Amino acid sequence: MATTLPTWTALGPALLLGITALVLLIVDSIDPDTSNSTLLAGLSTVGSLAAFLFAGWLLVSGTGQPQTGGAITLFDDQLVVDGMSLFFALIVTSVATLVTVASHDYIADQPYQAEYYSLVMMAATGMTLMGSANSLATGFVSLELASLPSYALVTFLKKNRGSVEAGLKYFLIGALSSAVLAYGISLVYAASGHLQFDAVASAVANTEFVGVLGIGVLFVLGGFAFKTASVPFHFWAPEAYEGAPAPISAFLSSASKAAGFVLAFRVFTTAFPELAGLAGGPVTVDWVLAVEVLAVLTMFVGNFAAATQEKVKRMLAYSSVGHAGYVLIGLAALGGAPDKGFVLGASMMHLFIYGFMNTGAFLFIGLTEYWDIGRTFQDFNGLAKQAPLASVAMTVFLFSLAGLPIGGGFFSKFYLLAATAQSGTWILGAALIINSALSLFYYTRVVKAMWIEEPVNDFEIDSYPAGIYTAVIVAAVITFLLLPAFGLLSPSAVTGAAALF
Amino acid sequence: MAIQVQYYLLLSAAMFCIGLFGILTRRNALLFLMSVELMLNAANVNLVAFSFQYGNITGQVFSLFTMALAAAEVAVGIGIILVLYRNFKDVDVTKAATMRW
């Protein structure tokens, strides 16, 4: 680059999101009773879109990547900006944009809208920072910055018992898992004397407290399992996603999950690679094996539970647990893989595409909640006659989630399968194939209800909310476009991941 | 050093387990919050003790962050418990079970 921006601008996406949150609070303090949802949704959409474009520009111009001199570290190595953090900033901001656009109609009748958008932006700030965290301290603080607004957002419909119950369960399990994570971090600190990832990595290589360290690593893994909705801390997910307002379910199941994964990727590949022998040394704490077990369990639990659900939103919630299992392959298959960047990059690509297809699917549920047509599979019968465009979009999402070549989900699952083949972890590959086949069964139930079945109840759809429609259709178009355009993005994911090893 | 560092680990492990026991057995949401606080303070004991042991203040500073976060978490938690009470007329966490587990 001819002119170089100061290094702090590499944090631009997070800063833009944070500023947007504060601007929304200022608007709220000037006019506390405002219900001008167009202004509020517009501001937050502009903010998150600006953050998205800025992150995209930084990624394309090579900021923090090997060709421009490697990762940019800030604040005494506490934060880092590199290919991976920018890639995840892209995921979080794109989901946040879709969610704020869709919320315009969804919460139009609710009070406290400025707080809602402000909390969404704060949570997005935390999630973006999680991608940049380079120390257990900043990682923990940004994880909480993402979590605390999420609890409030899930409980946003204060008079709706489902929403309150969902928020309570999410909060209780979230508080428990953050305590577990904090305790795990304290044990890692006890064994190493450091919190910064590189310093931890060099200190744990010859620590005398291997037992303490092992428990610490497992606790940290447990804390991340909560954030990513993986077994054993997955059981909040179906409750929280079912009870929460649908745009918030979309936000949590896509962006929050991605943020949990990026922190897990960074912690385990930069702070603990030696423990599992990834750098060629002896294996002391075999977290790769632990993640492998968790990945297989998460895939099976998520998909089998999804197959038995009666409500579409709950089915999607369990399928989101199953997808966390697919993404865990990126860590679980690191063991014997010759090209570790490809393995982790496959997971990152899956999260990126998942960000669009899953957000879109939950926003479609938001659309049906807006129409108030019911929550079970039967209630969706004959929906395609009334709302063909949205039904086409939903079909694209569901088949892409299942891994059919109608959206980018096909290639990302293919990459994950190739990653398991490369590392020789055949059990992960087999679990991926079995569960994808199973998932096709329950996704098809929704498609069948929408397109083939005759409607049971007579319902008339009298309004077509522009905001939710726009978000759903944009998400569908991008999901579809990511099929041909997969090759454009995957190199940046793979090089971003490869820079960690 | 007067006290060996293993005893701090034992103390914190005991606090953590008491907190965990409280979470698993208590039905009152407020007691649940207190148990979580106990677990977070178990982490703080470790951090401060090993900060002293290693002679760097990283752990002490992080324990300040943990305390601040615990306070923020309680603030959000009390808010949620308040709406729980308004909707279910109780702060029993097992009462809020309209959705199937």
Q: What is the CATH number of the domain that holds B28?
A: 1.10.287.3510
Dihedral Cα A142, A148, A150, A151, nearest 10 deg: 150
- A186-239: per-residue pLDDT in tens? 999 999 888 999 898 888 877 778 888 889 999 999 999 998 988 888 888 888
In a domain, B35, yes or no: yes
In a domain, B59, yes or no: yes
Assess whether pLDDT exceeds 70 at residue A111: yes
Question: At which residue do the structure tokens 């966390």 appear?
Answer: A324
pLDDT > 90 fraction of chain B, expressed in percent and rounded: 60
Residue B14 CB contacts under 8 Å (≥ 6 apart), including other chains: none
- A183·B39 Cβ contact <8 A: yes
Q: Is the peptide bond before A232 cis (omega within 30 degrees of 0)?
A: yes
**How high is the pLDDT of residue A3?**
59
pLDDT band at B2 (very low <50, low <70, confident <90, very high): low
- A267-284: per-residue pLDDT in tens? 999 888 888 777 777 777
User: Do A442 and A436 touch, CB atoms closer than 8 A?
Assistant: no
- B83·A242 Cβ contact <8 A: no
User: Do A84 and A265 touch, CB atoms closer than 8 A?
Assistant: yes
User: Do A27 and A66 touch, CB atoms closer than 8 A?
Assistant: no
Number of structural domains in chain A: 1
Q: Which helix (H) or strand (E) holds A42?
A: helix A37-60
In a domain, A40, yes or no: no
- A190·B36 Cβ contact <8 A: no
A164 in contact with B, Cβ within 8 Å: yes
DSSP B92: B
User: Do A500 and A270 touch, CB atoms closer than 8 A?
Assistant: yes
In a domain, A168, yes or no: no
Which two structure tokens, joined as six digits, stand for B83? 């709406």
A208 in contact with B, Cβ within 8 Å: no
In a domain, B25, yes or no: yes
Q: Which range of residues forms the domain containing residue B38? A: 7-92
In a domain, A36, yes or no: no
Residue A425: helix, strand or coil by DSSP? Answer: coil
- A62-103: per-residue pLDDT in tens? 877 877 777 888 888 899 998 899 999 999 999 999 999 999
In a domain, B64, yes or no: yes
Give dist(CA A44, CA A115) in Å, integer: 11
CA A423 vs CA A330, A342, A476: distances in Å: 11, 11, 33
Residue A1 to chain B, least CA–CA distance (Å): 37
**3-class secondary structure per residue, A221-272:** HHHHHHHCCCCCCCCHHHHHHHHCCHHHHHHHHHHHHHHHHHHHHHHHHHHC
Residue A314 to chain B, least CA–CA distance (Å): 10
Residue A275 to chain B, least CA–CA distance (Å): 21
pTM reported for the whole predicted model: 0.93
What residues of chain B lie within 8 A of the CB of A186, using their CB?
A: 12, 42-47, 50, 59
pLDDT band at A495 (very low <50, low <70, confident <90, very high): confident
- B54·A178 Cβ contact <8 A: no
Query: How high is the ipTM of this complex?
Result: 0.94
**How high is the pLDDT of residue A383?**
85
CA A284 vs CA A103, A183, A204: distances in Å: 48, 20, 10
Number of structural domains in chain B: 1
In a domain, B99, yes or no: no
Lowest average pLDDT, out of A453-457, A464-468, A476-480, B89-93, goes to: A453-457
In a domain, B97, yes or no: no
What residues of chain A lie within 8 A of the CB of B84, using their CB?
A: 164-165, 168
What residues of chain B lie within 8 A of the CB of A213, using their CB?
A: none
- B99·A162 Cβ contact <8 A: yes
What is chain B's Cα-based Rg?
17
In a domain, B78, yes or no: yes
In a domain, A406, yes or no: yes
In a domain, B23, yes or no: yes
For residue B32, the chain A residue with the least C-alpha distance is: A172
A186 in contact with B, Cβ within 8 Å: yes
Interface of A with B in 118-157 (CB under 8 A): 136-137, 140-141, 144, 148, 151-152, 155
Q: Which range of residues forms the domain containing residue A314? A: 286-501
- Buried/exposed code over A158-188 (b: 16+ C-beta within 10 A; e: otherwise): bebbbbbbbbbbbbbbbbbbbbbbbbbbbbb
In a domain, A439, yes or no: yes
What residues of chain A lie within 8 A of the CB of B14, using their CB?
A: none
Question: At which residue do the structure tokens 């929550």 appear?
Answer: A375
**Closest Cβ opposite residue B80 in set A171, A186, A189:** A171
- B69·A140 Cβ contact <8 A: yes
